[in-house]
Structure 1
Amino acid sequence: MLSSGREEGGVEEEEIESRVGISYTLWQIRRDPTALAGLAIISVMTAIAVFAYIDAVIFDRLSDYAFFANMGVEQYWFANNYWVNPENDPASVRSLLPPAWMENTFGQGTWDHPLGTDHRGRDILVRLFYGTRIAIQVGFISTAIGMVGGTLVGAVSGYYGGWIDDALMRAVETLYAIPFLVLVIAFMTAFGRDLTYAMIGVGITTIPVFARLIRSRVVSVREEDYVEAARAAGVRDRNIILRHVIPNSFAPVLVQATLQIGVSILIVAGLSFLGFGVQPPKPSWGQMLSQSRGYMLPNPWFSVWPGVAILITVVGFNLLGDGLRDALDPRVNN
């Protein structure tokens, strides 16, 4: 009976240990409809962002007009004062048009501008596409800055402990105590209201989140047998941290990074709404919301579309993050 119990226990342990690795994680994600929905949303948004980047940076440099301009949707997108008509005549611009299937005091919507036009006659759909490029760029880069910085700080703090742990965690807690929006605005006021500084500022504010998260895992991982064996073999602490401690503590950091991308998009949208971050005439969702404030009664759709874009994107990253959290936990019952 004892032998049978051990065998049963061994089988259970083997089953639990088999629930790890990239193959199992991908298998779990394929079985999770919410994770698949989030992945589908992120894939579509990323594809739009890549296409907008290629159109804006590559096509526009290789020819007189970019792809959208050739379609007649957004003529002279990067030139000629951003007006939307082939003649570039401000007097002929049809501003604040509703979606194609509606009509308002400014006229009947047209399929040349499926989601309508803004207060300067620019096509809202195209500006949403280009705003997607900014949002995805900001989300990934700022989160990468916070994840790398926070992972290094938290890993060093948890691995060494003692006064190093106290010093680093007190610095992290001081940074964490400052409201993130105030910290980012102060950072951008000091260095500039450029998108680059917005991403750096948001990345710095997320360092405490990742540092505290990975430190809690490193404190337990550093006592594992393979870490002790590496120390006994004379492996340098830097190599132990990079090759053993961080990889075996990284699962919750990956989940947090997925969720943090959506948060970063919201933060930069809020900054753009307040006049920081992305500066006109470059389009961003937060900036479009800010510009629509004075036109909500005559054309409420002007403010609806960027809000919907933010909502869908953030929900997509949250859904994927929840799916990753379940897939990376080998003890979740399915």
Structure 2
Amino acid sequence: MCDRKYAILGTGALGGFYGGKLQKAGLDVHFLLRSDYDHVKKYGLLVESKDGDFALPQVNAYQDIEKMPQCDVVVVALKTTQNYLLPKLLPPIVKNGGVVLVLQNGLGIEEEIAQIIGNVSIIGGLCFLCSNKVAQGHICHLDYGHITLGEYIPGYPTVGITDKIQQIAHDFHRAGIAIELAEDLLLARWKKLVWNIPYNGLSVILNARTDELMADMYTCKLVEQLMFEVAAGANSHGRNIPDSFIQKMLDYTVKMKPYRTSMKIDYDECRPLEIEAIFGNPIRQAQTAGASLLQISCIYNQLKFLDTKNQKQ
């Protein structure tokens, strides 16, 4: 029996789903909430899922980080636009020698965590999940759900499969969550950007779901071009993404249920967009290696305009 204690920072579409699955499997899970706190404290969490619906009438819900117990594994499931909160959230809650599991999109995230807190292991997690929060404490899981895990070492060298990620993987497997272990976290992050950059960006700019982008020959071609440019960015850092992987991502999305991306939902709800983590950081990292990501830079500039305009409404 696992005696690791988990904290979930950000109980939304992602944190609520994975945290709920972990608790359902019998793990000790503690949830930090904001606007949903009163509802979840009273009624718990409800997860509608393609893998089977379930309800957790009682969960360990908190509104104040100082009232949460120290945990062995702290799961960061916030949007990267809220990472300014982490210097206050992480130090009180993660045990000395514990694990910070970063379930966020983009590049350079683990480096930010390492600057905030020391004497912990940092694991990056890439979530392939179609899930939305449809009401307070109510998560709707539409498709997929597996996570790729890789351990972070400064400079992002290839470190192989460590004991820490195997321990976390065991807990997630127990909860029915499919896990892939990555020997190279930086490569895994660039590979996730192959999907995130075209679909998140174009969904906002073109006001389209994933199925609409794939049904049109012109936008489908644009998606593919952006994917190859992401691969060029990865290559500038010595990471090779084969053409077969790009085709896999295109096929994967065609088969996916019609999906409004997380960035499109944020835009529709007038929330800040994760532009810097998903677009800005890859552009800057490629530039330092002498590569120019021209089409991605075009998407970046359009998103910055739309986001600024949206925030003024």
TM-score normalised by structure 2 residue count: 0.24
Greater share of residues in helix:
1
Q: Specify which structure has the bigger relative contact order, considering alpha-carbon pairs within 8 angstroms and separated by 6 or more residues.
A: 1
TM-score normalised by structure 1 residue count: 0.23
Which structure has the larger Rg over C-alpha atoms? 1
